[in-house]
Amino acid sequence: MNPDSQNTPRYHQQHQKAIEAAASVFAEKGYHGASTQDIASRMGIQQGSLYYYFTSKEAALEEVCLAALRDYVDKMEQISKQVQPLKEKLTAAISAHLASYRSNSEALKVHNEQRLYLPEEKREKLKTLGSRYRQQLEDILIEGIHSGILNKSLDCHFAALSLIGLCNYWGAMLTRDSKLALNEITAKCMHFVLNGCLGDTN
């Protein structure tokens, strides 16, 4: 393959479609449970043709995870930058996290559930992006402490991770049960994270 060929508009567009197809199939069947045949079928080409866009199945998983996380970190960065009170920011963050599970071709789900099947080396970029995301969340919480809203002695690192865990859990639920309402779950997560089980309501 001529290396220049990767610069045509068509290549770019098809490559994108390939990533989406892979994300969708991996989300449904898991990395090992999905075949390159499945991915190719979903994007309407022959199995062998897929290798024009991915050097290997593993590379496909890597690209899916990277794209998902990059997308997501970007979104978080925007939220984090905006000047608005803590509660609004946090709600936006949770809502964005949960929403990705529904809409975004489930790529984030693939990242969360399948990335460990990548070899160590291929996971490094993911780790970097992942901790940047966690850091942004942490910063929002720290800011909340400074503005006097959150508890001074809150362990922000632990809280940020827990929030991620919580959102991943409910995000996965959302993809499985279409009856669940995104807004409702967002609000409940928000309330739970802020108040816990002891705290006063409203």
Partner DNA sequence: ATTTTTTTCTATAAACCTATAGATTCTATG
Partner DNA sequence: CATAGAATCTATAGGTTTATAGAAAAAAAT
Q: Under the rule (CB under 8 A), what is the footprint of a second copy?
A: 29-33, 113, 117, 141, 144, 149-155, 158-159, 161-162, 164-166, 168-170, 173, 188-189, 192-201
For residue 96, the partner it binds in DNA, a second copy, none, with Cβ less than 5 to 8 A by kind, is none
79 in Cβ contact with 166 (< 8 Å): no
- 30's torsion region: left (phi>0), alpha (psi -120 to 50) or beta? left
Structure tokens at 11: 């290549």
Within residues 52-111, the interface with DNA by CB under 7 A covers 52-53, 55-58
Work out whether 16 is an interface residue with DNA (CB under 7 A).
Answer: no
| Pairwise CA distance, residues 144 & 54, whole Å | 43
Nearer to DNA, 65 or 137 (CB): 65
Nearer to DNA, 51 or 192 (CB): 51
Interior CA angle at 64 toward 62 and 67, to 5°? Answer: 105
Work out whether 2 is an interface residue with DNA (CB under 7 A).
Answer: yes
Nearest to 111 by CA among 168, 167, 180: 168
Work out whether 118 is an interface residue with DNA (CB under 7 A).
Answer: no
Work out whether 8 is an interface residue with DNA (CB under 7 A).
Answer: yes
Nearest to 167 by CA among 142, 185, 180: 185
What residues make contact with DNA under the rule CB under 7 A? 1-2, 4-6, 8, 10-11, 14, 34-37, 45-49, 51-53, 55-58
